[in-house]
Chain A
Amino acid sequence: MGHYIIRRLVISIPVTFGIALITFILLNVIPGDPVALMMKDHISADVVARVRAQMQLDDPAYIRFFRFIWNALHGDFGVSYKLNRSVSSLLMDAFPNTLILAISGALVSWIIGIPAGVLSAVKKRSFLDNSIMGFSLLGVSIPVFWAGLLFQYIFAFWLGILPVSGFDGPEYLIMPAIVLGWSSAGTISRLTRSSLLEVMRNDYIRTARAKGNLELKVVINHALKNAMLPVVTVMALQVAGLLSGAVITETVFGIPGIGRIAVNAIQNRDMPLLQGAVMFTTVLVILGNLVADVLYSLLDPRIKYD
């Protein structure tokens, strides 16, 4: 297992490099000059040129790219054009907020999604199943920004029991976590349901019944662990995705996390900050994938990595 993890980490180096390259190319082809955006209109072309030179923006692209890689390898992602602070410290400040939001969103989706999926599968084609699946479909289909605005309207504006936006305490977390969790709960419950229904058709389920097990124990002890295999993969990737910033949720609820940093960086053509945010995300997604695969082997003894 140790060897496997090391090998996976080694393989992820070229992946990270490739993503750095693609991001860099994309950032350089999008229109909009960061210096022009920073400067007011009345500042002369001469000053703009001097600032560009100072920021080493006139160097050929490949030199700038390798300079970025070299500095990144030393833990230096540069300084934000707009905020004039080091990218690393900005990301580190934002990350705890994103982390809390991601964990609570994921928890909401698991606590709702997994039991809902199990209930749906056990009561297949019942009213309960149809209701749960309908609700899941809504969760998957309703855009997060719309659900967010709806929640804000109902709970903050209309009922006035929750703060509209911001991030000043646990009560600020409730709406974003539910909005975020609902959409993933939909995916998780549907996946749990279909996976469990598939597993329940297996011969070993009949064996479990023939032993004299309660039907509930057949489902929980014998079927669920097998059914969770595909679900765990999705869960780990989902967490990785959430950690890299629930862009829309953070924007709607004004949560200063990684996602909002990335959006602001795009608007300001703040290349070092955006490149840093993307690299950060890349690493999280790669780690999320790795965690999924390791969990997979822990759940399923047939899967062994060496």
Chain B
Amino acid sequence: MNDASTILEINNLKTYFYTDKGVVPAVDDISIKVKKGQIIGIVGESGCGKSMTSLSIMQLIAPPGKIAGGEILFQNKNLVGISKAEMRSLRGNELSMIFQEPMTSLNPVYPVGKQVAETLLLHNKHMKKAEAKQKVIEMFKMVGIPEPEERYRVFPHQLSGGLRQRVMIAMALICRSKLLIADEPTTALDVTIEAQILKLMKNLQEEIDTSIIMITHNLGIVAEMCDYVYVMYAGKIMEQADVYELFDHPKHPYTEGLLKSIPRSNVQQNKEKGLYSIKGMVPNMLNLPKGCRFHPRCIYAEDACREVEPDLVDVGEGHLVRCIKYKN
């Protein structure tokens, strides 16, 4: 069922939060496949479950959250129900993650070099500290941190956001991980820095031959970086396709809306028409609409959409869509 080129295969993953007010299906039965060397994108609005998907892969879901079902096959090994020790040996080593907030993701009381070296030493029990330091400095060079020797000793607050994110990338890739999960890695950064970081990630991906899951709400990043895209809405995958296919032939009304909401470079047009937005709000996850989750905001919604939840159907060439308009 699983060829050698697949690094990660998520099947029917359910991550639920058992709160006092009820069960929140943050990730509701999703399946994702990542091939070796591939960059896949997970796109969606805030709260659609994309971050929870990444934390589920890392097995870092905190209570009251729990993986309620499904499997996460990483190199053919199911991470759901794996022992804590086994999971720790993977984290930071073969499976690593970059977070959204470089400003707060580094420990303020330790020098940044030491924090990167820690990952290396954790996964290489016999490595000497001096050797680890040397490797960290090399990695700093690789991620484009100027004056790496000096920067080894500085504290996070002495670095800019862009440099901190470079440190985070160095930390994530120092063990040459097989899969890097980047959870909105550039959201907190300036646009110019964003472009640099993305370029760096793409270069490193080729150099280290790692696969990347890029989690973002920015379709521009998806277009630039990803090979294959999943569009998430309210915990479910609404559409998935090859990146060109998705941008050229979006099938789901939600994807269509997202693509229309991208600001154009034509200022005149933006001013005249205003920026397109999808009407309404992300539904309350405790009280999801009946039928298709997107129907209250869908411009094409019909009666049937309010009744039955459509399945994810294959419309050919690896393009899947969850909409009543499409049938097998």
Contact = CB atoms under 8 A, between A and B. Distances in A.
A169 interface: no
Contact of B99 (A203, A214, A222): A203
A212 B106 contact: no
Nearest to A205: B107
B108 A300 contact: yes
Interface residue tally on A, bucketed by range: 10 to 19
A64 interface: no
Contact of A211 (B108, B157, B171): B171
A206 B60 contact: yes
Contact of A203 (B92, B101, B123): B101
Interface string B43-83: 00000000000000010100000000000000000000000
B90 to A, nearest CB: 7
A202 B105 CA distance: 8
A211 B109 contact: no
A302 B110 CA distance: 10
Interface in B149-164: 155, 157
Interface string A190-210: 000000000000111011111
Given A209-B91, A210-B60, A211-B92, A225 B105 contact: no
B119 interface: yes
Contacts of A212: 88-93, 119, 122-123
Contacts of A170: none
A299 interface: yes
Main secondary structure of the interface of A (DSSP, over half): helix
Contacts of B58: 210
Given A209-B60, A211-B118, A213-B122, A226 B108 contact: yes
B97 interface: yes
Contacts of B155: 301-302
B5 interface: no
Given A301-B155, A302-B155, A210 B91 contact: yes
9 contacts: A203-B104, A206-B60, A206-B99, A211-B119, A211-B171, A212-B123, A226-B108, A299-B109, A300-B109
Interface of B: 58, 60, 88-93, 96-97, 99, 101, 104-110, 118-119, 122-123, 155, 157, 168, 171
